[in-house]
Amino acid sequence: LGAGKNRQGLSVGMDGLWLALGLGVVLTLVLMVFAGPLCQSFGASGDTLKNAIIYTQTVMPGLPAMLLIYAANGIFRGLSKVKITLFAAISGAVLNAILDILFVFGMNLGIFGSGIATMIAQWYMGIVLTLPAIFWAAREKARLRPQAHSILKSAGSGIPLFIRTLALRACMVATVAAAARLGTNTLAAYQVANSCWNFVMNILDAIGIAAQTIVASALGAGLLKRANIITKICAQVGALSSVIVGILMIFAGWLLSPLFSPNVEIQLLVSIGMTILGIFLPLSGFMWALDGVLIGAGDHKYLAKSCSITAIVYLLAISAMCFVNIAFCSTD
């Protein structure tokens, strides 16, 4: 797209949408069938396990929509049309919050209602992003119909990015599993801190998205010097903005923790967790900016290798931590 080959670029984007839809349907069926064993593997039991299974099976039908969102986001980044992705994200979050209140509190559906609300919001965002992507592709006379060899080619070229994302998700899943094994209070505090972290990273990821779009356009047009300058600026902005947000996160952790739970132990764990996240946030912001640069530059193999190595080290470290805590420390 940076080279001005919109028709070819959008045809590849359509292949990505078809691939996302197909993978989403398959993964949804698998995860719904194996929801019980999957949730059990996290160490959950009793009511926690029951609610986890209900939520997983309820929210999973939204997985195809989420993958469509990721694929459509890539198309709009290539087209430098990020306003529509911002609109979809904000309106989707608002819709999710409204439906949560309606289903969970208004209709007393509990965790089932929360899952339904999330699933509906996911499909809303998927439709809001996918339909305009198809419209722009049709306007450029790009190929809309699925072609097996083109979809397989897209899948092959996307393997390094898939490995990169899989490594990141493996670390996140391992963290949830570790928190579940360390007791209810730890799991509750982790959920609060993780939700805040995700919210903050979605804000800081805007820098990475901008870097990805601008760098890809510059390289596509053969402007190497401009791409290098943009890389330096984005890395600096990512780190500096994260310092400010990190300080705010630390203060929020200590001042606002009572809003999340009346339990004093959970409040303390939330405060400590938010402090640690705030301290390391500048590194995260710097990393997310460069992640966007590397994706825009097409250096997916490096991302796959570096994220895989990081995941291995992290998984070994968190496994050792869990062993020490379970063996020598009490859990709530």
Range of the domain at 2: 1-156
Identify which of 68, 1, 2, 62 has the alpha carbon closest to the alpha carbon of residue 31. 62
Q: Which residues of 293-310 are buried (b: 16+ CB within 10 A; e: fewer)?
A: bbbbbeebeebbeebbee
* Domain co-membership, 208 together with 328: yes
Which of 156, 186, 211 delimits the end of a domain?
Answer: 156
Measured CA distances, 83 to 86, 87, 114, 251 (Å): 5, 6, 28, 31
pLDDT at residue 331 in the model = 56
* Domain co-membership, 131 together with 164: no
pLDDT at residue 122 in the model = 95
* Domain co-membership, 152 together with 65: yes
* Domain co-membership, 165 together with 128: no
Which of 124, 156, 188 delimits the end of a domain?
Answer: 156
HSE-up of 222 (CA within 13 Å, CB side)? Answer: 2
CA 202, CA 315: separation in Å to the nearest integer?
24
Phi, psi (5° rounding) for residue 329?
Answer: -120, 150
Total domain count for the chain? 2
pLDDT at residue 224 in the model = 87
CA 303, CA 316: separation in Å to the nearest integer?
20
Q: If you ran DSSP here, which 8-state letter would residue 256 be given?
A: S
Give the chain's radius of gyration (CA, Å).
Answer: 21
* Domain co-membership, 273 together with 124: no
Which of 156, 183, 217 delimits the end of a domain?
Answer: 156
* Domain co-membership, 151 together with 230: no
* Domain co-membership, 196 together with 294: yes
Identify which of 68, 51, 127, 137 has the alpha carbon closest to the alpha carbon of residue 92. 127
Give the SS3 label for residue 221.
coil
CA 58, CA 111: separation in Å to the nearest integer?
9
CB 208, CB 170: distance < 8 Å: no
The model carries a pTM of 0.72
* Domain co-membership, 182 together with 97: no
CA 172, CA 148: separation in Å to the nearest integer?
33
Q: pLDDT tens digits for the chain (332 residues)?
A: 555 567 777 888 888 889 889 989 999 999 999 988 888 877 667 777 888 899 999 999 999 999 999 888 878 877 777 788 878 888 998 899 899 999 988 899 988 999 999 999 999 999 999 999 999 888 878 888 877 877 777 777 778 888 888 899 899 988 988 888 888 888 889 988 988 888 888 777 778 777 877 888 888 778 888 889 988 998 999 899 999 999 999 999 999 899 888 899 999 999 999 999 999 999 998 998 898 888 888 888 999 999 999 999 999 999 888 777 765 555 55
Identify which of 28, 22, 15 has the alpha carbon closest to the alpha carbon of residue 63. 28
